[in-house]
Amino acid sequence: MNQGVAGSDVVIDVRGLNKHFGSNHAVKDLALTVRRGEIFGFLGPNGSGKTTSIRMLCGLLTPDSGEGTCLGLDIVRDTREIKRQVGYMTQRFSFWEDLTIRENLRFVARMYGLNDSAGRVESALDHLGLKQSADKLAGALSGGWKQRLALAACLLHEPQLLLLDEPTAGVDPKARRDFWDELHALAARGITVLVSTHYMDEAERCHKLGYILDGRLLAQGTAKEIVASQSLVTWAVTGDDLSALADRLRKLSTVEQVAAFGSTLHVTGADAARLDADLAPLKAEQGGHWQRIDPGLEDVFIHLMRAAGAEETTAAAA
Amino acid sequence: MNARWFSLSRWLGIVGKEFIQLKRDRLTFGMIVGIPVIQLVLFGFAINSDPKHLPTAALIADRSEFSRSILAGLRNSDYFAFIGEAADEQQADRMLAEGKAQFVVSIPADFSQRLVRGERPALLLEADATDPAATGNAIAAVNQLAQTVLAHDLTGPLAALAATPGAFEVRIHPRYNPEAVTQYNIVPGLMGVILTMTMVMMTGLAITRERERGTMENLLATPATALEVMTGKIVPYVVIGLLQITIVLTLAWLLFTVPMQGNLLTLYLAVLLFIAANLTLGLTFSSLAQNQLQAVQMTFFFFLPSILLSGFMFPFRGMPNWAQVVGEVLPLTHFLRIVRGVLLKGNGWSEVFPDAWPIALFMLAVSAVGLRFWRSTLD
Ligand SMILES: Nc1ncnc2c1ncn2[C@@H]1O[C@H](COP(=O)(O)OP(=O)(O)OP(=O)(O)O)[C@@H](O)[C@H]1O
Ligand SMILES: [Mg+2]
């Protein structure tokens, strides 16, 4: 592994991380490399181990095995220093609802031992546009505002690495757009961001992606690389009586996914030649407009899930 | 102080946050002040109540004008209501045992003869003392009465008998609870019980609440150390404990004139030690409990034996051996002895010490368990 000039640019570098909860193997051999200024999207279905992985990166959980560094600090030995330099936003709102917005920010500033904490809190409030309601209880805020408060709080100590766990769950589209603009502005200043999400539009806005399933990181790279790596074929069909067509398509063994988007069906399969052969009679019979398109990230992730599920059943049968 | 493991500023931040949250939590705040006031007033007035017209049986073996005057005098005191005469001692005993009578007044056969001869015969007053608070005033009234009730009968040559110490003697025979607990015993007991209850439960809740609401994750993600978090979170409860004790002592003194023989500083030092022991236990419970409900359950698991086996409810020496052994382990047992000793007997440090070190030992043992299970990560 190159620990030279390129190594200093690596902010997260972990290998072989494992975490068990009793008999539940929640994270399996996780290896992750994230470079300075990157926005790394962490995707995966519910319970796949995203939160557990993030907690291991910021010293909140001790990995059962594995090693690595965050900001050049050992994730097992230097947890206190990591906590000082990392901004972590929990999946669930975890500020004190019975404290006011200002009190919450002041408390956080104090925990990080910031000098001029009062000044920083006031400018954070200004930046948030919460100056007027700073004395409202945090519990009285709406979901979107809670999320903005949480981001402001974990930026107070100017961390070089942000770990954000589903920061935009339940937030309206405009607020999400603003939030991502802010993330890109931070990344442009050299701050590294690892963010977990279930939204595909957000995944598209990340520099790099990782897809985790059942505790195992199945794919890692740019969105393009991930899509290319699975060599899927997708057809877009427009025409009449699409629901009957969808039923027929689902019966074909070469068709993996059929999804309706308004008046268009997306039909996806892994084996281009056999898929074409299966679709040919339908095309002739049904008519309509058939067009080959690039598969989306969502198609790829669903394909990965199905493939893993099929593997499991064969493994169980063997 | 090493800034890596303990930062005063961070610690003060945690203490401040805890106070703000406490201030906003009206219910808890009300409980802190309300529990001591209500308990003391309820217990105190129940004890201090002055029950009258207590059912009384008479066992009269000597029908004389003296007997009649004495019974009339007792009736006039309002404390005694005669429910009838017992035929013999067995019947009198039964009436006491069944609770039909609170008292039996026995006038022996040769009462008037001996009285006239100046031999000071004894009038026997048997009392059902299972609830000593109920009989205390009535007994005091009888003693008063003995001096005056025969003033009209003792005329002429008998007048000299009326002088002190009185023409006859009252012999009180408390039954069932010879070690009569007095109201003065209750106040020290209440101090201990209130502290055990609030200190263990509140600290237990303070930390499991953070865990349950998910804010613990946030707190642990900051550089705050376990030492800062733990001690910072309990300091407010030390203040609360001292406040509660002050309320109890002030009310006990104002309402019930409970004596304060000993040194208040000694008392408060003992209180601090006791608070520390209970807070340690609360912290340990919170590191074992998964949620607030479990913390409350653990508190009660500890609270019940504390009440039952410490000597608060039953006289300690009256308990079976095994119960005394368990009782000796509990901090409340020793705290009760200390407070009773200091308040009522005026004990100083040398008498307090034998009961202080077992509390300290309990605290050390419990904190060892707590530290063993304390999680500064989410594992
Ligand atoms: N503290 C814990 N104790 C026991 N099991 C846990 C704990 N935290 C997580 N798990 C288990 O580990 C697995 C991974 O959970 P994790 O929270 O990391 O998933 P996730 O990818 O964040 O899911 P989601 O998208 O729903 O947030 C799940 O099976 C979960 O039940
Ligand atoms: Mg999660």
DSSP-derived secondary structure for B168-236: SEEEEEEES-SS---HHHHHHHHHHHHHHHHHHHHHHHHHHHHHHHTHHHHHHHSS--HHHHHHHHHHH
pLDDT of residue B99: 66
Task: Choose, out of B215, B225, B229, B378, the residue to mutate when testing the contact with A (most A CBs < 10 Å).
Answer: B215
B223 → closest Cβ in A92, A107, A111: A111
The model's confidence at residue A3, banded by pLDDT at 50, 70 and 90, is very low
Q: Are residues B171 and B213 in the same domain?
A: no
The residue behind tokens 């009989």 is B135
In terms of domains, do B120 and B218 share one? no
* CA distance from start to end of chain B: 29
Q: Do residues B79 and B199 share a domain?
A: no
Query: Does the pLDDT of residue A68 top 80, yes or no?
Result: yes
Q: In what order do the strands lie in the sheet with A39-43?
A: A73-74, A65-70, A10-21, A24-35, A216-221, A208-213, A39-43, A192-196, A161-165, A86-89
Last residue of a domain, one of B124, B143, B175: B175
Domain ranges in chain A?
3-221, 229-317
Residue A123 in this model has a pLDDT that exceeds 60: yes
Q: Which of A61, A94, A108 sits opposite B214 (nearest CB)?
A: A94
Last residue of a domain, one of B144, B175, B206: B175
Task: Tell me which architecture the domain covering A229-317 has in CATH.
Answer: 2-Layer Sandwich (3.30)
DSSP letters for B72-107: HHHHHTSSEEEEEE-SSHHHHHHHHHTTS-SEEEEE
Give the dihedral sign, CA B6/B7/B10/B11: positive
Q: Which of the four pLDDT bands, split at 50, 70 and 90, describes residue A101?
A: very high
Nearest ligand 1 atom to the CA of A166 is 27
Report how many Cβ contacts below 8 Å link chain A to chain B: 70
- Check if the beta carbon of residue B149 is closer than 8 Å to that of residue B201: no
Amino acid at B304: L
User: Alpha-carbon distance A69 to A13, whole Å?
Assistant: 5
Site to substitute for ligand 1 among A18, A42, A50, most atoms within 8 A of C-beta? A50
Predicted local distance difference test score (pLDDT) of residue A318: 63
CA dihedral B63, B65, B69, B72 (to 10 degrees): 50
Give the nearest ligand 1 atom to A52 CA.
Answer: 18
CA of A54 to the centre of ligand 2 (A): 9
Residue B103 sits in which domain range?
A: 54-175
Q: How confident is the model at residue A120 (pLDDT cuts 50, 70, 90)?
A: very high
Residues 6+ apart with CB under 8 A from B87: none
Residue B44 lies in a domain: no
**Domains in chain B, number:** 2
Whether the Cβ atoms of residue A160 and residue A88 lie closer than 8 Å to each other: no
Q: What is the pLDDT of residue A2?
A: 38
Q: Which residues contact A24 (CB under 8 A, 6 or more apart)?
A: none
**Same domain (yes/no): B216, B149:** no
Q: Are residues B235 and B296 in the same domain?
A: yes
Nearest chain B residue to A76, by CA: B377
The percentage of chain A sitting over the pLDDT mark of 90, rounded to a whole number, equals 57
Tell me which chain A residues have a C-beta less than 8 angstroms from the C-beta of B220: 60
pLDDT digits (tens, 9 = 90+) for A133-169: 899 999 999 888 898 899 999 999 999 999 999 999 8
* CA–CA distance, A293 with A299 (Å, rounded to integer): 12
Chain A nearest-CA distance from B21, in A, is: 6
Is the CB of A91 inside a 6 Å radius of any atom of ligand 1? yes
Nearest CA in chain B to A19: B379
Q: Pick the residue with more confidence: A71 or B67?
A: A71
Do residue B67 and residue B157 come from a single domain?
yes
| Residue B21 falls inside a structural domain | no
CA A195 – ligand 1 centroid, Å: 16
Is residue B168 domain-shared with residue B190, that is, in the same domain? no
CATH of domain A3-221: 3.40.50.300
Domain match, B69 and B167 both: yes
Residue finishing a domain among B139, B156, B175: B175
pTM above 0.90, yes or no: no
Residues of chain B with pLDDT under 50: 1-2, 179, 181
Chain A residues lying within 8 Å of B224, measured CB to CB: 111
